[in-house]
Amino acid sequence: MWPRSLLAEHPQVRRWVGISILLGLFAAGILVAWTILLAGVINDGFIKEQTLSGVLPTLVLMAALLLLRAVCIWLAENSSQHASGLLRRKVRSDSLAHLIAVGPAGLSAERTAELTSTLGQGVDSLDAYLSRFLPSAALAVIVPAGVFVTIGILDPWTTLILLFTGPMLILLLAVIGSRTRSLTQRRFEELGWLSSFYLDMIQGLATLKAFGRADEGAEMVEQVSRRYGEATMDVLRTAFQTSLMMEWAATAATALVAVQISFRLIRGDLSFDLALAVLMLTPEFFAPLRRLAIEYHAGQEGNAALERITELNALPPQTRSVTTEGQGMRSSLELSSLGFSSLELSSVGFTYGGSDSPALEQVSFVIEQGQTVALIGPSGAGKSTLAKLLMQFMQPDQGQILINGQPAQNLQPSDWRRIISWVPQQPAFFAGTVAQNIALGRPDASIEQIHEAARVASAQGFIEALPEGFNTLLGENGLRLSGGQRQRLAIARAAIMNTPVVLLDEFTAHLDEDTEAQVVAAMSALMQGRTAVVIAHRAATIASAQRVITLDRGRVIQGQQ
């Protein structure tokens, strides 16, 4: 399959692929000319018994053609590899940028490990697809046609055999290839599922051991791995069968050409040099098809990856910016100069895809500058959905969110997030030091600012007790830290942003009373002089709020203004 839409988006890649194919065609043309010259040299040297000096110019020309063909092949491979590297970089970066635009809400139904596998191994499979399969597919169409015309000029009778055997080989490749396509698709899907299963197993290892299911988990890993191995062997077996059948068919067709040429040569209907040239050119008619059969597996693997990448890129972005007529997008500089005065939700509604009932419906309230507002309600009331809307991870289906009286849609989400910081229920930490994780939103922050943010979050004490203090590597997602330590680092991360608005999303939900008291104290220091929206259900967290807004089944039932 020629990825027209994909290559159309990347003209540089298309140009390099075209150069690779043209060089391949040139190399094939050189081989055809060299073969005809070789037949002539053999005829002149052995049949007509010419001296070496008589055929020496032709031999020199043949050597030059071989050298030129080698250069063409080398340049073609380099061009295709350059195109492959360029495409993989662009696809990976564009897909990642699109997934970021889709946001956490839009990716909630996707499996993390499967996405990683697609952007990793899936994108890497485009290497063989672009550098080997696509050139082979193009040459398999053009080169046999050129060889067919050349043989037709030399010996029209031989083309009758090629007219019969050529389409038969193409049909054979299509029939066997259809099975390869389905098997490769299944293998790619199982690879994504296997990656997700391994991740779940590793992350849930403590839970499995606690419930006595670790051994069963190991058995499941063995079963899944065996199934994936069987799928891989099915793909390889089919690929080998395709190559073998193509080799047999091509060999049989060449033998048939050889038989009819030998009879005509004996009868004197064909000269020796023409007979030899046709006989040597016939394998070159089938060679591109045989090469395509060898690369067909790589092509289908890349095609499966392309289909999955296309599906991911088709996910609708959850963050969008809308401009109204006569009113341009506000820049972060303009927003900063205005400061922050109010946040208003006006008849906001939102319904998740595939759901019949809205998660939020006709939600309206106003938060003034400097207020601390608590949002409470039972599970499923719409609190987390509201937090995602406030962070502009997604946009409301109905109503508006107004900032300083202006629709939030008129602001770039990145600009809005420069005046709002977020402390989530389960903060994520990344590979790096404690200092780097605190300064995630301000990578240019000084060490003094990092220390001050840790002090505000009451985190400086435990950080300095770590083996290397602020330079301690956290490990995967901060697993070395306790729940309270993780939350205080999240508060420090919000504090260093120094934004006028703070959103705290059930950040004490999984803490004990003593740890909660420490985190709430840190929260109180963070909220000094700021507007705060606190999503909570525990009394200690709600106590500092000046207003309490209660949500139930997506509606405000108390505290609405």
The CATH number linked to 151 is 1.20.1560.10
Looking at the fold, whether 249 and 337 belong to one and the same domain comes out as no
SS (H, E, C) 250-268: HHHHHHHHHHHHHHHHHHC
pLDDT beyond 90 at 457: no
Residue 511 lies in a domain: yes
DSSP state of 409: G
Looking at the fold, whether 69 and 190 belong to one and the same domain comes out as yes
CB 92, CB 309: distance < 8 Å: no
**Cβ–Cβ contacts within 10 Å for residue 30, how many?**
20
Looking at the fold, whether 273 and 415 belong to one and the same domain comes out as no
The CATH number linked to 390 is 3.40.50.300
**Closest C-alpha to 290, from 242, 330, 338:** 242
88-102, 179-193, 274-288, 540-554, range with greatest mean pLDDT: 274-288
Q: What is the largest CA-CA distance in the chain?
A: 109
Residue 321 lies in a domain: no
Residue 33 lies in a domain: yes
Domain termination residue (choose one: 262, 278, 313): 313
Domain count, the chain: 2
- Token pair listed for 19: 């150069």
**Can you tell me the distance from the alpha carbon of 514 to that of 191, in angstroms, rounded to the nearest whole number?**
44
Phi-psi region of 44 (alpha: psi -120 to 50; beta: other; left: phi over 0): alpha
**Can you tell me the distance from the alpha carbon of 390 to that of 408, in angstroms, rounded to the nearest whole number?**
9
Looking at the fold, whether 46 and 186 belong to one and the same domain comes out as yes
> What pLDDT is recorded for position 262?
86
- In order of 345, 387, 557, the CA distances from 381 in angstroms are 16, 12, 11
> What pLDDT is recorded for position 208?
65
CB 504, CB 533: distance < 8 Å: yes
Mean pLDDT on 315-333: 47
- In order of 180, 246, 262, 432, 450, the CA distances from 286 in angstroms are 21, 9, 20, 56, 68
- In order of 106, 123, 389, the CA distances from 413 in angstroms are 16, 29, 11
**Closest C-alpha to 527, from 550, 493, 504, 507:** 504
Domain termination residue (choose one: 281, 313, 345): 313
Looking at the fold, whether 309 and 351 belong to one and the same domain comes out as no
**Can you tell me the distance from the alpha carbon of 115 to that of 123, in angstroms, rounded to the nearest whole number?**
11
**Closest C-alpha to 312, from 75, 514, 74, 110:** 110
Mean pLDDT on 63-67: 93
Looking at the fold, whether 228 and 160 belong to one and the same domain comes out as yes
pLDDT beyond 80 at 347: yes
Alpha helix ranges (H) inside 340-429: 383-390, 413-416
| pTM over 0.75, yes/no | no
Residue 97 lies in a domain: yes
Residue 320 lies in a domain: no
Looking at the fold, whether 166 and 303 belong to one and the same domain comes out as yes
pLDDT beyond 60 at 488: yes
Give all strands of the β-sheet with 360-368 in edge-to-edge order. Answer: 360-368, 342-350, 398-403, 406-407
Structure confidence at residue 22 as a pLDDT band (50, 70, 90): very high
Range(s) of the domain holding residue 345 = 332-558
Chain-wide mean pLDDT for the chain?
Answer: 78
Looking at the fold, whether 293 and 203 belong to one and the same domain comes out as yes
Beta bridge pairs of residue 551: 556
Residue 451 lies in a domain: yes
- Token pair listed for 374: 């608590």
Q: Which amino acid, 200?
A: D
Q: How many residues does the chain have?
A: 561
pLDDT beyond 60 at 335: no
Give all strands of the β-sheet with 501-505 in edge-to-edge order. Answer: 420-423, 501-505, 531-535, 372-376, 547-552, 555-558
Residue 461 lies in a domain: yes
> What pLDDT is recorded for position 323?
39
Beta bridge pairs of residue 401: 345
**Can you tell me the distance from the alpha carbon of 183 to that of 309, in angstroms, rounded to the nearest whole number?**
18
CB 324, CB 410: distance < 8 Å: yes
Q: Return phi, psi of residue 124, to 5°.
A: -65, -30
Looking at the fold, whether 273 and 410 belong to one and the same domain comes out as no
Using CB atoms within 10 A of its CB, is residue 454 exposed (0-12), middle (13-18) or buried (19+)? Answer: buried
Looking at the fold, whether 244 and 118 belong to one and the same domain comes out as yes
pLDDT beyond 70 at 193: no
DSSP state of 432: S
Looking at the fold, whether 282 and 372 belong to one and the same domain comes out as no
Residue 548 lies in a domain: yes
Provide the CA 318 distance to its chain's centre, in angstroms: 18
SS (H, E, C) 93-104: HHHHHHHHHHHH
Domain termination residue (choose one: 283, 313, 343): 313
If you write DSSP's letter for every residue of 451-505 in order, what string do you get? Answer: HHHHHHTT-HHHHHTSTTGGG-B--GGGTTS-HHHHHHHHHHHHHHHT-SEEEEE
Mean pLDDT on 91-112: 75
**Can you tell me the distance from the alpha carbon of 503 to that of 367, in angstroms, rounded to the nearest whole number?**
12
180-189, 285-294, 365-374, range with greatest mean pLDDT: 365-374
> What pLDDT is recorded for position 247?
77
**Closest C-alpha to 235, from 194, 190, 169, 195:** 190
SS (H, E, C) 42-89: HHHHHHCCCCHHHHHHHHHHHHHHHHHHHHHHHHHHHHHHHHHHHHHH
Looking at the fold, whether 491 and 537 belong to one and the same domain comes out as yes
> What pLDDT is recorded for position 40?
85
Mean pLDDT on 3-28: 82
176-185, 186-195, 260-269, 408-417, range with greatest mean pLDDT: 260-269
> What pLDDT is recorded for position 13?
85
